[in-house]
Amino acid sequence: MTSVSINPSRLSGRIRTMGQIGALPGGGVCRLAMTDEDKLGRDQFVAWLRELGMSVHIDVIGNIWGIRAGAEDGAPVMMGSHIDSVATGGLYDGVAGVMAGLEVVAALNDAGVTTNKPIAVAAFTNEEGARFAPDMMGSGVHQGALDLGEMLATVATSGDGVLGEEMKRIGYAGDIPPRSMVPAAYLELHVEQGPVLEHEGIRIGAVTGVQGISWTEFTIEGQSNHAGTTPMALRHDAGLVAAQIAAEARQIATDFGPPQVSTVGVLEVSPGLVNVVPLHARLTVDLRNTSEERLVEAETRLAKFADEAAQQERCSITSRKLARFAPVEFDKSIVARVENAARARQMNVRRMPSGAGHDAQMFAPNCPTAMVFVPSAGGLSHNINEHTEEADLAAGTQILLDVTLELAGVKK
Ligand code: HGY
Ligand code: MN
Ligand code: MN
């Protein structure tokens, strides 16, 4: 089997270059989807694709991918991830996978290796869902899991823009329709974003699948009133209802136990004045579980609690689903290839599910798909101090290259 080696310093250099785009003063990055910073990141990615001699393709929701020709035509082996970030993001979430794909191609170019199948490297639109919900939006449209028209019409959660218009504004409205390209296989390298690999001293995660994700936004209307003169029994305190829902979200995770998790990421009350009973509250609840059945149970319990809490306080409440994805399993034969490739290079490896959502979950129903995890220092992510050691990133990228060569084949 042909063996090609990656170049760790070139890989780290690209990570650093991308980390300067949307850099925050105290470290980390903010490249929210379809912002000027996202555009600059996209421009840099396209420039690298061209430097590597790849053809550049942009689809109707702004996904970008490059293709390196193989000896044969047909469906490529695709690698990818995302370059958009949360507002307080680190240097590695998503970027590691896209840069690893570029490094695989650069190493193949250096080695003068022609693969049988073409190779594709992608950066998908709005994986984070931080500005426009849901997350995994670009890959979801690309693979037919999300409706293009609905996604283009999505208004930013904070109201500052419409996705389709922002995409045109930054110049990344392509014309390739959804589902026009189903790869021969899809591989994604990603930082683990959790503590397991580091805690166990393991270098490579052979990811078995992604847990289910449920995002709900609750909007509560009460009555603003004087904090001093209004008897407690006569209040309609929207802030109280929101706080009760937040406490119940945590209680669900406690009662269900692992792997159930729950997060209240947004909790706003208005008018937000010390001596005014809140008129309005808005909160989001992120529920996740590896079991679809348990996730439905958690959602049902939360919805029932929210209605009762609002009724109790004589407030009105509405809710809307911002994201909902069932758990997915990855292709067992490719998971085994990741494991065997790591062992062949004397790297310790373990199988594990992903707690975070990834673009890979959109490909899993349509083509053989798997992921390679590398350790996150301190298990940190969605945090400006996110870090992965260069040696770990290089090791994961080498495994990505080895499995890609197996799947794409090498021209004799
Ligand atoms: O929310 C997630 O798991 C991913 O970062 N979009
Ligand atoms: Mn990510
Ligand atoms: Mn993320």
Q: How many domains does the chain have?
A: 2
**Nearest atom (ligand 1) to Cα of 127:** 6
The two beta strands, 276-277 and 225-226, are antiparallel
Task: Give the pLDDT of residue 3.
Answer: 82
3 found inside a domain? no
Task: Give the pLDDT of residue 1.
Answer: 63
DSSP string, 348-370: -EEEEEESS--THHHHTTTS-EE
Distance of alpha carbon 94 from its chain centroid, rounded?
Answer: 7
Please, are residues 268 and 309 in contact by the beta-carbon 8 Å criterion?
no
Identify whether residues 106 and 252 lie together within a single domain: no
Identify whether residues 149 and 90 lie together within a single domain: yes
The two beta strands, 261-263 and 280-289, are antiparallel
1 found inside a domain? no
Identify whether residues 45 and 175 lie together within a single domain: yes
Minimum-distance ligand to the CA of 82?
Answer: 2
Domain finish residue from 304, 325, 346: 325
The verdict on the CB of residue 286 being under 6 Å from ligand 1 is no
Residue 247 burial (CB count, 10 A): 12
162 found inside a domain? yes
Identify whether residues 239 and 192 lie together within a single domain: no
Domain finish residue from 307, 325, 343: 325
The verdict on the CB of residue 135 being under 6 Å from ligand 1 is yes
172 found inside a domain? yes
Take atom 5 of ligand 1 and give the residue whose Cα is closest.
128
The verdict on the CB of residue 192 being under 6 Å from ligand 1 is no
Span from the CA of 347 to the centroid of ligand 3 (angstroms): 26
What tens-digit pLDDT sequence spans the chain (412 residues)? Answer: 678 999 999 999 999 999 999 999 999 999 999 999 999 999 999 999 999 999 999 999 999 999 999 999 999 999 999 999 999 999 999 999 999 999 999 999 999 999 999 999 999 999 999 999 999 999 999 999 999 999 999 999 989 999 999 999 999 999 999 999 999 999 999 999 999 999 999 999 999 999 999 999 999 999 999 999 999 999 999 999 999 999 999 999 999 999 999 999 999 999 999 999 999 999 999 999 999 999 999 999 999 999 999 999 999 999 999 999 999 999 999 999 999 999 999 999 999 999 999 999 999 999 999 999 999 999 999 999 999 999 999 999 999 999 999 999 999 8
CATH number at residue 93: 3.40.630.10
Entry field: residues in the chain: 412
Task: Give the pLDDT of residue 242.
Answer: 98
Task: Give the pLDDT of residue 174.
Answer: 98
> Per-residue b/e over 84-121, b at no fewer than 16 CB within 10 Å?
bbbbbbbbbbbbbbbbbbbbbbbbbeeeeeebbbbbbb
Identify whether residues 130 and 228 lie together within a single domain: no
Span from the CA of 85 to the centroid of ligand 2 (angstroms): 8
Identify whether residues 364 and 321 lie together within a single domain: no
Please, are residues 234 and 222 in contact by the beta-carbon 8 Å criterion?
no
2 found inside a domain? no
Identify whether residues 227 and 164 lie together within a single domain: no
Span from the CA of 236 to the centroid of ligand 2 (angstroms): 40
Biggest alpha carbon–alpha carbon distance for the chain: 85
Instruction: Please give the radius of gyration of the chain, using alpha carbons only, rounded to the nearest integer.
Output: 23
CATH number at residue 226: 3.30.70.360
Going by C-alpha positions, the residue among 79, 48, 45, 42 that lies closest to residue 62 is 42
Domain finish residue from 325, 359, 377: 325
Identify whether residues 177 and 229 lie together within a single domain: no
Enumerate residues with CB within 5 Å of ligand 2 (an ion): 93-94
pTM above 0.85, yes or no: yes
Report how far apart the first and last C-alpha atoms of the chain are (Å, whole number). Answer: 11
Domain residues for the domain of 288 are 212-325
Minimum-distance ligand to the CA of 128?
Answer: 1
